[in-house]
Chains A and B, each alone.
Chain A
Amino acid sequence: MVTYDDGSPRTAPASFLGRCVFSTHHKTIGLQYLWLALASVLVGMILSALLRMQTSWPDTAIPFLSGLQHTPERYAAIRLLHGSLMVFFVLTAAPQLGFGNFLLPLQIGAPEMAFPKLNLVSFWMTVGSLGGMTVSFFYPAETGVNVWLGSAALFSLSALLSALNFTATTIDLRAEGMTLPRLPVTVWAWFLNAILSMLIFSVLLAGCASLLCDRMLGSQIFSFSSFLATQPLNLVRQGSLPILWQRLFWYFAQAEVYVAMLPCFGMVTHLVATFSRKPVWKERLVVLALCGVGLVGFCVWGYHMFATGMNPYAPLVFSVLASSLGVPAAFLLASWLGTLWDARLQLTCAMLFSIGFISLFIAGGLSGIFLARHDLRSAAVSEDFVTGHFHLVMGVAATFAILAALFFWFPKMFGARLNEALGKVHFWATFAGVYFIFMPMHWLGLLTQSHLLPDASRANLASAGASIRTLVTVATICTVAAQLLFIVNFARALLRRRGTEENNPWRATTLEWSVPSPAPLVNFAGVSPVIYRGAYEFRSGETSDFAPQHLAPELLSQHSS
């Protein structure tokens, strides 16, 4: 047996530094990204609860908030911190960098990523940028914005390097027989997303660097004076510019939407097929739709960036997001429903969260239709509507996809299973919770229309608005508290693992399930696997209802689960 001689050590380095800090193993780095995301999501969630409390009960002394002066600028800064933690380190990091790093080489039968050292470098750049963004919050606004921009530039650079690594790995390191049509949809999603990230993050990097240069060295790339002219006078005089924080967030979030959603589409498609015990319905079309999401998303966003000279002060038309995602999203939706149709569903937690994702995606997508109409948007809805829409479709939906993936791949990552019963309670609590938060938020957004109504009705509406606001806040606190169930489940599974988990507990077809759980340090025991068939061969045979990708045809007849 010939083993790989590509510089990766065959035994685990003994020291802590070698194992955890300077490890170039894709699985270690993937898990590190996931831990990073877990920490960020916890802080981000608590911040969101604080923000809600501040909105509903502005006079109550809240420990953390009261220390920071109650100015609109501070409030905007907390929102930016909540947004950047969630968008960069949860929604971008977990589905693509976390699961992608862990699973991509395993699913294509590669020994490692194409450039393991580059992978290590980009991980630590991500950590640095997380640190920078957190620190930026504690500085006064002027310095804070600079630190935040520097961190965002660092994140863009690290995302670029990761994307390069993912793309090269998928192109060049596929195992024998792993042809493009045989790639699992997850790999397609990570691959396409990496290509998209390369294009998007290089523009963001240029934007960050230029803006930093403007702010620190006084260059005149962007015309700040024309931005100031459009801002309310009292804000300009005070020198506090909450709008600038907000603009910065949208400038990034617009692009990040696609980057966060693509891998989630891939993972959900994969899980829905596995737990429906059916092939992905119209798999080719799904891959094309994924390409479509990337292409259309980039074209719309890219057009905007280039038409304004990537000016972060230019107003962003968030609504185009909804309309541009519409067509490919409809294809994806059709495929999910087609796969679910008439299937023997296995309602595991992973499947529940996947179906939850689909539900949230439909709900959020429907409100997106309203936002896509420019006339409706400016006339009828306020910021609350937008917030509700994009949290449903992007934030919460993506989080459901991440949770689904975590329940599914947990055995491969840690060699234990998350508790299904506890997971189901957690799922229903969270599922109900997010609808209680974000659906009323849509109604709040519609209340701005009240000025068209007679006085009496307006008074009624105002009081209704106040009680809806309180409902949202209470729901937020309850939902955040419900996440304790997940933490207990997670910690319990980690503490109780015995390392006796079977290789393929879900009876899935892809390559990562051919190796032991948890996946050992060296992939496939150093022997490159050979792939014989597509990724979703579920069919009823005599002994088993699925055909793993790596099993030779002559062995398939003896194969039983």
Chain B
Amino acid sequence: MPTTSATQDLELIIEKKPSNGGGGDLPPVDRDGGGDDGKRPSPSKPSPKRYYTGMALGIVSILMFFMALASAFLVRRGSGDWVPIHIPALIWINTAVLLISSATLEMARQRLAKGELEAYKNLWLTTTVLGVFFLAGQVGAWRLLVAQGIYLASNPASSFFYIFTGAHALHLVGGVAALLYVAKRNFEKAQITRTVAAEVTSHYWHFMDALWLFLLALLYLGK
């Protein structure tokens, strides 16, 4: 199966644009000879492109969501009562774990593309376990803060720390669920193929990874 990247996706969309002005009785561009009644049966399965589009759009929405929070963070930081908090060192280890999970996921995807199912499955499960480790690590970081007496309601900075990490963790739980779903799903009966499901999930996972780096930079630089 060929891998479809986001750019190819985009090209496919653009390809649909016609050269003529939309009027006139020109037949559709890629009509093959014309059926007997002027209609052609559609392929039995709708194009899997919609999954890639759906994920890309989902990523845009989630990005907007976090951008709104980030703007609140930057504006709030300027108002008088800001008390900086210390980010626990555990966060850096968590970040490393998440980065490694993205790498293993990419390796899994390459194995799947080569048809090495066994290796793919192992790497895929490794990614899932690393994802769970990251989540556990985030909870650990919260406990470290709580031990210092820093709660959600303590001050604006702590509120934002918990909200950013919490909202990201919530989205990552969805990612872990998707990883498990792809691992367990029987794709013979499904509309979606394993390759498509794996790719769409990996797009989400890598996005979560990048988003975390952004949030961390924001929290670290803006504390």
Contact = CB atoms under 8 A, between A and B. Distances in A.
Interface of A: 1-7, 111, 114-115, 160, 163-165, 167-169, 171-174, 176-177, 179-182, 198-199, 201-203, 205-207, 209-210, 213, 217-223, 226, 283, 305-311, 527-534, 537, 547, 552-556
A292 to B, nearest CB: 20
Contact of A198 (B60, B81, B153): B60
The 7 A-B residue pairs whose C-beta atoms are closest, nearest first, are A309-B75, A181-B22, A177-B28, A218-B153, A528-B42, A219-B159, A552-B38
A181 B21 contact: yes
B41 A1 contact: yes
A9 to B, nearest CB: 14
Contacts of A167: 53, 57
B153 A226 contact: no
Nearest to A314: B75
B139 to A, nearest CB: 17
A206 B58 contact: no
A115 B55 CA distance: 12
Given A220-B155, A310-B72, 11 more contacts: A2-B41, A164-B58, A173-B50, A176-B31, A220-B156, A221-B72, A221-B76, A309-B72, A527-B39, A533-B23, A553-B25
B74 A529 contact: no
Contacts of A222: 72, 76
B49 to A, nearest CB: 5
Nearest to A203: B68
Contacts of B60: 198-199
Interface string B164-179: 0001000000000000
Given A4-B44, A6-B191, A530-B28, A305 B17 contact: no
Given A115-B50, A177-B28, A221-B160, A207 B68 contact: yes
Contacts of A555: 38
B133 interface: no
B184 interface: no
B103 interface: no
B141 interface: no
Contacts of A111: 42, 46
A179 B22 contact: yes
Given A171-B13, A203-B64, A530 B38 contact: yes
Given A164-B54, A309-B76, A528 B40 contact: yes
Interface residues of B, number: 59
Given A114-B53, A179-B16, A210-B163, A305 B71 contact: yes
A172 B22 contact: no
Contact of A305 (B25, B68, B160): B68
A6 B41 CA distance: 14
Contacts of B26: 532-533
10 contacts: A2-B44, A111-B42, A114-B53, A206-B66, A222-B72, A309-B76, A310-B68, A527-B42, A532-B25, A552-B34
A446 to B, nearest CB: 36
B40 A198 contact: no
Contacts of B187: none
B71 A310 contact: yes
B73 interface: yes
A554 to B, nearest CB: 8
A342 B10 CA distance: 42
B68 A182 contact: no
B180 to A, nearest CB: 19
Contacts of B27: 177, 532, 552-553
Contacts of A532: 25-28
B33 interface: no
Contacts of B153: 217-220
Contacts of A172: 46-47, 49-50, 53
Contacts of B58: 164
Given A114-B53, A168-B57, A171-B53, A198 B64 contact: yes
A553 B167 CA distance: 55
B61 to A, nearest CB: 5
B69 interface: yes
A543 to B, nearest CB: 16
Contacts of A177: 27-29, 31
Contact of A219 (B25, B41, B152, B191): B152
Contact of B159 (A207, A220, A306): A220
B18 interface: yes
A198 B61 contact: yes
Contacts of B65: 202-203, 205-206
Contacts of B5: none
A309 B67 CA distance: 10
B21 A533 contact: no
A224 to B, nearest CB: 11
B162 interface: yes
Nearest to B62: A202
Interface string B59-100: 011101111110111111001010000000000000000000
A69 B197 CA distance: 56
B11 interface: no
A226 B79 contact: yes
A399 to B, nearest CB: 29
Nearest to A180: B17
B182 to A, nearest CB: 17
A221 to B, nearest CB: 6
A169 B57 CA distance: 12
B149 interface: no
Given A168-B53, A206-B65, A305-B71, A537 B23 contact: yes
Given A4-B46, A221-B156, A530 B75 contact: no
Contacts of A202: 61-62, 64-65, 68
A435 to B, nearest CB: 38
